Copies of this chain bind each other. A is one copy, B any other.
Amino acid sequence: MMIRGSTGLIAHIGYPTHTFKSPMIYNPYFAHAGIDAVVVPMGCRAASYPALLAALFTLENIHGALITMPHKVSTLALVDAASPAARVAGACNAVRRAPDGRLVGDLFDGEGFVRGVRRKGVELAGQQAFVAGCGGVGSAIAASLAAAGVAAISLFDARPESAEALCRRLRAHYPALRLRTGEADPAGHGLVVNATPLGMHDDDPLPLDVTRLDPGCFVGEVVLREHTPFLRAALARGCRAQEGTDMLFEQIPAYLEFFGLPTTTPARLRALAQLDGPPRQENVS
């Protein structure tokens, strides 16, 4: 990768930044494809974010911004227009400047999830879906499942008010969608999603009762670890499954398109990614 005066900027904004993965996914692809752009981490606290976002979009060489914790929800109020997925989920994780100067927000977590599931041959139209976890990523996935034509979504969250709030936003945009909250049982659902953080740590409890999974169901995971206990249990029951990293790589082409950059396949992006690059000799930052 060679950064020069002509290089376009994608600001990756969040806090803390040390867990960011996007620079190690996008930048190797840009280098490989000869795309003169770079993703740069920007560690920004909540109080400083509105002014930072506004200032960055005055730059002549900005392609856009990738937004992550803790700014995804507040971004929705800072953009001039947002996609239906962003409005249903109540969050944005990508911002660009439209040719007319307006800031446009979108959200591609759910799109990545849906693209991955479809690539694995799952038919979403008419599907009965169960989403455990109604925070940011659960909301995004539910919004994209609704847009993809599922017949019903059951929402569960340990904080019932989160599930109820998402239910109301989905109902406002998709009046024909059958919605249910308050039920932790995944039985009877053809698509079951863990959208909670449970599974990030080895001693986490399972996000739901896996003995109640229909053996023929398709299970999706958002936690970015290989073979979480939840996925292992589901596979042991005979379910098919999608890992968190599948959702991650499936959404990158959507961002590239959004930023107006040449795109490629998730498989290519995964092959080029350097998520486990060599450690630095010295870390001064």
Contacts and interface: CB of A to CB of B under 8 A. Distances in A.
Interface of A: 1-9, 15-21, 23-24, 27, 33-45, 48, 51-52, 54-56, 58-61, 63, 260-262, 274, 277-278, 280-285
Nearest to A262: B284
Contact of A9 (B2, B6, B41, B277): B41
Contacts of A277: 2, 4
A41 B4 contact: yes
Contacts of A280: 2, 34-36
Contact of A282 (B36, B59, B63): B36
Contact of A43 (B19, B52, B59): B59
B285 A36 contact: yes
Given A59-B52, A262-B282, A284-B261, A18 B5 contact: yes
Q: Which of A6, A16, A45, A54 has the most CB of B within 10 A?
A: A6
Nearest to A274: B2
Contact of A281 (B3, B9, B34, B59): B34
B36 A6 contact: no
30 contacts: A3-B23, A3-B39, A3-B40, A4-B24, A5-B17, A5-B18, A5-B20, A5-B21, A5-B41, A6-B41, A7-B41, A7-B285, A8-B284, A9-B42, A16-B60, A17-B60, A34-B282, A36-B283, A36-B284, A37-B285, A42-B61, A43-B59, A43-B60, A51-B51, A52-B56, A52-B59, A54-B55, A55-B56, A260-B284, A262-B282
State the number of copies, please. 2
